[in-house]
Amino acid sequence: MAKESSLTLKICDWAIKYSIYAAIFLMPIFFLPWTSDVLDFNKQAMLLLLVFVSFFALLLRILISGKFEIKKSLMHIIAGALFLAGLLATVFSAYRYGSFWGMPQQVSESLLTITSLLLLYFLVSNVFSRKEILISAIVLSFSAIIAEFIGILQLLSRFILPFDFAKSAAFNTLGSIGSLGFFAAITLPLAIVLLIIVKKWWRFLFVSEIIFSALILILINYSMIWWVVVIGSALTLALGIMKSDIIDGRWMALPTFFLALSLFFALLNPQISWLPQKTNEVFLSQNSGLDIALRTLKENPLFGSGLGTFAYDFSKFKSIDFSKSSLWNVTFNKSSSEILNSLPTTGILGFLALLAFMAFPIFYGVKFLVLKQKSNAGLAAEKPASQIYSILLLGLSVVLVEQSIAYFLYNSNITLAFFYFFTIAALIGLIPETKKEYALKPSSLLTLITTLVFTLVFIFGMGVLILNGQRYIAEVNYYQGLAAYQAGNKTDGLKKMESAVSLNSQSDLYFRQLSQVYFLTLQDKLQNVKSNISDQQKIEIQNLVANSINAGKIATDLNPKDAGNWSSRGYVYQSLIGVSGGAETWAINSYDSALKLDPNNPYLFAQEGNVYLAEAENLSDDQASQKNQLLVKAQTQLEKAVFLNPNYSNALYSLGIVYDALGKKSKAIDAFTKLQQLNPTNADIAKILNNLNAGNSISQTATPPAANPPSGNGGNGAVQNPPAKSPAK
């Protein structure tokens, strides 16, 4: 029995360590092509599986061995506070489902991801030996080389990945361009210290990583990334000089070189002509992010709006001036930095917990290095093995400082968050601390509690893994449905979308998209209807109308805080005017609900104006008073849209028609003159303007526009061709 137990313990030890090794290696490079989010969603699924396997193996080992050890560290309490803050932010979230799972919210900010990362922290900091932490750092560096090599080829437009979505310089296995740049910046000091402590051919590995990191930094050439390298290089140089008793001073040439290089690019910002054109990203300014965060905190000070819900905060509190920009129809789902993203979504409690989680390890690591330096003064040099881990600790401390600074400058994703939590765990694991051992004696209260915890964690963990697997299959079906529908295979596309909804009935995104697909299918059916409609066609049309409406309603029921759900529902009702009774009223109600959540969105005001205009156009001449009232309402809403965005062409088009219908010729001329300036090549607008200038009505030449879908609401300066009128009853 002892031998069997010994073998079981070895298997548990193997599962604990190699599951984490696998997660460390895969995280920077892992992606799969069969989901709508090829990166973070798949990385989360991989991380969840491997971390839970490792944690299950640890619990099983504890039960078999009858004992366990925990390192005594204040950091564990801070980690627990971070989890508690995330849990409370999820419980009080505007959308609990999204905050817990991540999809369709931000995967990297979900409670499930935070829990997985905290389990990673616990496993590495408590279970891994110093040697195993060193191995983990080497594994991470090897994976970083692969990710950076792919990133360099992508930036140079040398596409080696056989996927259509990868045929872009903006794609890499880390995330955004900025994420790749920050990853290169924060892996640089780790590569330098590993180059110092390894021997023989291993050094080729880290020389390659240093070269790749430098190439990425130069190719991306973001000023804020260079400043992170400046601070990291200066800190590496300072700590290296301080630890001159164990580090050969000649190695300090590397951080000195990168300090000079980063200062050169940060201060002078040179544009090298033979390099590919720099790819720029669009993100919120720090002032905008801070303003949205403060306004959100006034409503939800303690717990915030919920994990991953910044898009809701942005829609509700964005500046009016934003609507006048060229990005007015873009919803930002992240703030200007990770810090300003955490503040509104997790509240004051989550923000303070994150700051403590960031600051304490830095203080702990630097304090240990400084105090150890003083304690070693006048004493014999450290043993070679101890020197290796001191140098590694130095590098991890620098990495942690860089990562923390990056959190104030840029957003994180699941890969960068994983690297952050691993760095903290490795640093805590390297610092010598006393461990407290607990023995599980038969029939003791501790044994009973441990067994109960193991059972609960196992059941909950297995349940989460099973549900996540079901969600994953649903996401695969959803993506396949979208791809099939866009490719023209509409029948299979609809079936796949329906399968996704049946597998994951809690996703508002799936129902919202399914509602649109039902409506598009309805349009196809109506186009094929001839003068004599059969009973079967009537039934099919009625079912499609009902399904489109019901799917949109379910989306708003699941997540009533998402303006996009109400906007999509309003679009469906608006498109069904003349087909479904009362569609006008429901469309206005839906757009009103969306405006409460997104009050400065020109599209929503324009669509309400178009609904009133469509109602007015359907009235007969003997209903002049009612028609005039509707036109006045349309004018009010369309003027609000144009006020928010003076260059909103579709709103100007509708407003010109309304002015003409109300007899306000001069205002109609002004609207279409502005429209012509925005669309100088549009011959139809020139004809309409000529008719107006001649004193004629444009009711026959200017067709009132039908509903514009939320995903393509006109944009600036371009009029979409007015769709055909909705069919009559």
Tell me, rounded to whole angstroms, the distance of Cα 602 from its chain centroid.
25
Task: Report how far residue 125's alpha carbon sits from residue 119's, in angstroms, rounded to the nearest whole number.
Answer: 10
How do residues 60-113 score in pLDDT, each as one tens digit? 888 888 887 888 888 999 999 999 999 999 999 999 999 999 877 789 999 999
Task: Report how far residue 588's alpha carbon sits from residue 99's, in angstroms, rounded to the nearest whole number.
Answer: 29
Question: 397, 424, 439 — which closes off a domain?
Answer: 439
Assess whether pLDDT exceeds 60 at residue 620. Answer: yes
The number of beta carbons lying within 10 Å of the beta carbon of residue 160 is: 9
* C-alpha torsion 600→601→607→609, nearest 10: 30
Give the residue, 619 or 373, on which the prediction is more confident. 619
Find the mean pLDDT for residues 703-729. Answer: 45
Task: Report how far residue 225's alpha carbon sits from residue 174's, in angstroms, rounded to the nearest whole number.
Answer: 15
Per-residue pLDDT at 442 = 75
Conformational region of residue 30, where left means phi above 0, alpha means psi within -120 to 50, and beta covers everything else: beta
Task: Report how far residue 729's alpha carbon sits from residue 727's, in angstroms, rounded to the nearest whole number.
Answer: 7
Q: If you search the block for the tokens 């409690």, which residue do you land on?
A: 349
The number of beta carbons lying within 10 Å of the beta carbon of residue 108 is: 27
CATH of the domain at 670: 1.25.40.10
Task: Report how far residue 156's alpha carbon sits from residue 561's, in angstroms, rounded to the nearest whole number.
Answer: 42
DSSP 8-state symbol, 702: S
For residue 212, name the pLDDT band (cuts at 50, 70, 90): very high
Domain that includes residue 207, residue range? 2-439
Q: Does residue 656 contact residue 702 with C-beta atoms inside 8 Å?
A: yes
**236 inside domain:** yes
- For helices 649-661 and 602-617, give the axis angle rounded to 10 degrees: 30
Continuous H helices in 504-648: 508-527, 535-558, 563-575, 583-597, 602-617, 624-644
Mean of pLDDT over the chain: 88
Per-residue pLDDT at 716 = 34
Identify any residues that bridge with 435 across adjacent strands, giving them in sequence order.
71
For the chain, the farthest-separated pair of C-alpha atoms sits apart, in whole angstroms, at: 104
Assess whether pLDDT exceeds 70 at residue 720. Answer: no
Assess whether pLDDT exceeds 60 at residue 651. Answer: yes
Identify any residues that bridge with 67 across adjacent strands, giving them in sequence order.
439
Per-residue pLDDT at 4 = 47
Find the mean pLDDT for residues 417-432. Answer: 93
Q: Does residue 710 contact residue 693 with C-beta atoms inside 8 Å?
A: no
Per-residue pLDDT at 707 = 67
**27 inside domain:** yes
Per-residue pLDDT at 63 = 84
**570 inside domain:** no
Look at residues 505, 361, 357 and name the one whose alpha carbon lies nearest to residue 431.
361
Amino acid at site 388: I
Q: If you search the block for the tokens 């509690």, which residue do you land on?
A: 449
Two tokens at 609? 């104006």
Task: Report how far residue 44's alpha carbon sits from residue 197's, in angstroms, rounded to the nearest whole number.
Answer: 32
Give the residue, 265 or 538, on which the prediction is more confident. 265
How do residues 335-354 score in pLDDT, each as one tens digit? 999 999 999 999 999 999 99
Torsion sign, CA atoms 456, 461, 464, 469: negative
Question: 439, 472, 495 — which closes off a domain?
Answer: 439
Q: Is the peptide bond before 560 cis (omega within 30 degrees of 0)?
A: no
Distances (CA, A) of 578 to 472, 575, 632: 39, 8, 21
**455 inside domain:** no
Look at residues 414, 400, 482 and name the one whose alpha carbon lies nearest to residue 176.
414
Contacts of residue 2, defined as CB under 8 A and 6 or more positions apart, other chains included, come to none
Look at residue 70 and give its three-state secondary structure: strand
Task: Report how far residue 233's alpha carbon sits from residue 258's, in angstroms, rounded to the nearest whole number.
Answer: 6
Task: Report how far residue 506's alpha carbon sits from residue 28's, in angstroms, rounded to the nearest whole number.
Answer: 30
Assess whether pLDDT exceeds 90 at residue 51. Answer: yes
How do residues 138-175 score in pLDDT, each as one tens digit? 999 999 999 999 999 999 989 999 999 999 888 999 99
Assess whether pLDDT exceeds 80 at residue 708. Answer: no
Q: Does residue 433 contact residue 439 with C-beta atoms inside 8 Å?
A: no
Q: Does residue 208 contact residue 155 with C-beta atoms inside 8 Å?
A: no
Q: Does residue 605 contact residue 638 with C-beta atoms inside 8 Å?
A: yes
Assess whether pLDDT exceeds 80 at residue 440. Answer: no
The vertex-486 CA angle with 485 and 490, nearest 5°, equals: 25
Two tokens at 405? 């600074």
Question: 409, 439, 469 — which closes off a domain?
Answer: 439
Tell me, rounded to whole angstroms, the distance of Cα 51 from its chain centroid.
21
**575 inside domain:** no
- Long-range Cβ pairs for the range 671-676 (8 Å, 24+): 674/646, 675/649, 675/719
The number of beta carbons lying within 10 Å of the beta carbon of residue 369 is: 17
Task: Report how far residue 696's alpha carbon sits from residue 450's, in angstroms, rounded to the nearest whole number.
Answer: 85
- Rg of the chain over Cα atoms, rounded to whole angstroms, equals 30
Per-residue pLDDT at 374 = 52
For residue 3, name the pLDDT band (cuts at 50, 70, 90): very low
Continuous H helices in 487-507: 490-503
Find the mean pLDDT for residues 31-46. Answer: 94
Identify any residues that bridge with 69 across adjacent strands, giving them in sequence order.
437
Conformational region of residue 173, where left means phi above 0, alpha means psi within -120 to 50, and beta covers everything else: alpha
How do residues 183-193 score in pLDDT, each as one tens digit? 999 999 999 99
- The string of DSSP codes covering 163-189 is SGGGSSTT--SSSSHHHHHHHHHHHHH
For residue 274, name the pLDDT band (cuts at 50, 70, 90): low
Domain count, the chain: 2
**478 inside domain:** no
Two tokens at 57? 């193996």
Find the mean pLDDT for residues 228-237. Answer: 94
Distances (CA, A) of 675 to 241, 321, 637, 688, 723: 66, 21, 18, 11, 18
For residue 647, name the pLDDT band (cuts at 50, 70, 90): very high
Find the mean pLDDT for residues 706-710. Answer: 72
Task: Report how far residue 55's alpha carbon sits from residue 367's, in angstroms, rounded to the nearest whole number.
Answer: 31
The number of beta carbons lying within 10 Å of the beta carbon of residue 552 is: 27
Assess whether pLDDT exceeds 50 at residue 377. Answer: no
Please give the sequence-ordered ranges of beta strands (E in DSSP) within 387-478, or none if there are none.
435-439
Per-residue pLDDT at 499 = 95
Distances (CA, A) of 254 to 149, 193, 234, 533: 21, 10, 11, 79
Tell me, rounded to whole angstroms, the distance of Cα 663 from its chain centroid.
49
Two tokens at 729? 């009853």
DSSP 8-state symbol, 703: P
Distances (CA, A) of 3 to 10, 222, 535: 11, 58, 76
- Long-range Cβ pairs for the range 1-6 (8 Å, 24+): 5/64, 5/65
